[in-house]
Amino acid sequence: MDSGPVGDHAESAQETAPLPIFYSVKFSEESRSGGLTMKFATIRSHGRGKAAQISNPRRLRAIFAGGTALAVATAGYMFAPTTSAGAAGAAGSRPEFDSPSGLAVAGGELWVTNKRGNSVTEIDPANGSRVATLRGASYGFNRPIAITSAGSDLFVANRRGSGGSVTEINPTTGAAVEVISGSQFQFDKPVAITASGSTLLVLNQGDTKKDPSALGSITEIDASTGDLIQVISGSSYAFEDPVALAVSGSDVFVADNTNSAVTDVVISGGSLESVITGGGLDGPSGIGVSSGYVWVSDSVSSAATQIDASTDAVVDTYNNSDGAYGFGSPSVVIGTTSDVYITSPFGSSPMVTDVDATSGTPYWFECDTNSPDPYFSLLSALAVDGNYLWVASRSGANNPYPDAATGSLTEIELSTGAEVLRVPSS
């Protein structure tokens, strides 16, 4: 059985003389670890007030030492109490999010990577309730920074661990399918992941600050097999500090912050189309596509640049002097069929701005000065689910709710920016 939420204190518990005691049971949420689906329950000692977490409780029996639960034995398994690091998937043992860094919609659910928590949270988008938390050795999570869907599965980019890795997850069961790693993939601090059909594209940031030769790259993987297709790298691509990528047709566009450039690459074969510079590109931080245009946010100039995806020509650059954009070091960008949504993550009033992808007209922006207050804090990821936009905050700096101290989600309407839901809501 996998380590993680279960079994962490089994050895120490076995060294203690068991004192069988029965407890009352209160069921809570479902969690998954290492492919094992578990219904968690809180069991309480009558008269001692101690609590622990178990799964599949049948004929409950706890092992105690000095009045403190070390582990719970049931149905042939040993489970650790909530006070241990291994029980982190249980209700009430950790905040709902821990520095959320990526969002994806798959299987009718919303999936959130928790970079600091080394986990993935499954959310029911209908009501914002937490369905499950995925963590454990079988997932290989190591600073999971981004997530995407391809085919029927989810793929998570892990930033650390021998250069990095990609974890494949079955969204129906929550089980880990495969951890893709190895020197042949040339992972080097993955920073983003997306898909074009059955091809996964992992953007490796590299580390030119420590080693000028450690340039960024794109690792292409066959999502159906986990096999390497190719690694796109070389100085001609200008991947000095790549931070984001987006697919438009047969090409992938990469935003590079240090080079103040956008690189257009043909996905099949990896040939270089062009390196786009100038025209308002000063410090690209995010990128999205819509309506035949590539939109690039710029954190240095607090602007957004529109590029024709077919010609690679810069169309225009928009900043706050051109209209009510509200840009302040804009970052994450996502596109729909007609609009792009651009985050300004920092300060006392972070915001999301809706821009017409063709005309560049700003429609609305949602920020912390609006009513009701969305409580945005360090905006880190976006995901579109039908007519709604999910926004991740990786901090609780502007949020009064205790459970949001390490991150939260806000759902807003695409057409109006009106707030629909906050997670957590208290």
- pLDDT band for 272, please (50, 70, 90 cuts): very high
What's the whole-number mean pLDDT along residues 310-328? 93
What band does 280 get if pLDDT is binned at 50, 70 and 90? confident
Does residue 150 register a pLDDT over 70? yes
Q: Does residue 342 register a pLDDT over 50?
A: yes
Q: Is the pLDDT of residue 413 over 90?
A: yes
What's the mean pLDDT in 332-359?
94
Q: Which of 120, 79, 124, 78 is nearest to 101 (CA)?
A: 120
For the chain, give the mean pLDDT.
81
pLDDT tens digits along 191-243: 999 999 999 999 999 988 888 888 999 999 999 999 999 999 999 999 999 99
- What pLDDT, on the 0 to 100 scale, is given for residue 373? 83
Q: What is the pLDDT of residue 44?
A: 37
Q: What is the mean pLDDT of residues 304-313?
A: 98
Q: How far apart are CA 173 and CA 32, in angstroms?
A: 9
User: Phi/psi of residue 30, each to 5°?
Assistant: -95, 145
- Reported as a pLDDT band with limits 50, 70 and 90, residue 292 is very high
| CA distance readout (Å), 193 to 9, 341, 356 | 36, 19, 25
| More confident of the two residues 21 and 270 | 270
State the pLDDT at residue 229: 98
Calculate ∠ Cα 252-194-166, nearest 5°.
130
Which pLDDT score is estimated for 216? 96
Give the torsion sign (CA, 310, 239, 203, 270): positive
- pLDDT over threshold 90, residue 332: yes
Q: What is the rounded CA–CA span in Å between residue 404 and residue 395? A: 8
Mean pLDDT of the region 305-311: 98
**pLDDT tens-digit profile of 260-271?**
999 999 999 999
Average pLDDT rounded to a whole number, residues 132-158: 96
Percent of the chain at pLDDT > 90 equals 67
Q: What is the arithmetic mean of pLDDT over 370-375?
A: 83
Whether the Cβ atoms of residue 208 and residue 240 lie closer than 8 Å to each other = yes
Q: Would you state the pLDDT for residue 95?
A: 59
pLDDT (tens digit per residue) in 63-122: 333 333 333 433 333 333 332 223 333 333 445 899 999 999 999 999 999 999 999 999
Q: Is the pTM of this model over 0.85?
A: no
Mean pLDDT of 19-35: 37
- Would you list the domain boundaries of the chain? 10-87
What are the tokens at 275?
């390196």
Instruction: Please check whether residue 83 is in contact with residue 90, taking contact to mean a CB–CB distance below 8 angstroms.
Output: no
194 vs 321 pLDDT, higher one: 194
- Which residue has better confidence, 55 or 331? 331
138 three-class SS: helix
What does the DSSP assignment read for 49-102?
--EEEEES-SS-EEEEETTEEEEEEETTEEE--TTSGGGTTSTTTS-S-SSEEE
Q: How far apart are the C-alpha atoms of 110 and 123, rounded to whole Å?
A: 5
| pLDDT in the model for residue 230 | 98
